[in-house]
Amino acid sequence: MTDPSDLVSVRYMVDDVEAAIAFYTEHLDFEVGMNAAPAFADATRGNLRLLLSGPASSAGRPMPDGATPGPGGWNRIHLIVGDIDAEVGRLREAGVSFRNDIVSGPGGRQILIEDPAGNVVELFQPAGT
């Protein structure tokens, strides 16, 4: 097992921890570590530790001003893929939701997918690969 201090952790608020676990493990090759669903789970891929926090988690508690943390937005994890066209085809066939079509730029090609709670994941194929 990887030493936790070697991991980069990102927290995503999700509506359904079990659905998030299924999405990240079945579609994006993450491995589940701790599973305390329905409140919380974590999943890793390489040195990325994704903290999946449901409404019942401590991260889901209202802020002092009453705002409640929730999923979605535009911040995202960024996953490098070797063949973006093949990944898009595989994920479309599996029914994964996309926010856009593949975009090309000087650094490579990217596309945005959504997990079941609406959190964004960027798939990125660097230029020249």
The overall average pLDDT reported for the chain is 93
Share of the chain above pLDDT 70, in %: 98
Q: For the residues 89-108, what does the mean pLDDT come to?
A: 96
Q: What is the pLDDT of residue 73?
A: 85
pTM recorded for the entire structure: 0.88
Q: Which CATH superfamily is domain 4-61+72-126 in?
A: 2,3-Dihydroxybiphenyl 1,2-Dioxygenase, domain 1 (3.10.180.10)
Output the CA torsion sign for 99, 101, 105, 109.
positive
23-27 average pLDDT score: 98
Which are the contacts of 93, defined by CB distance < 8 A and separation ≥ 6? none
Domain borders along the chain are 4-61+72-126
Where would I find the H helices in 1-125? Answer: 17-28, 84-93
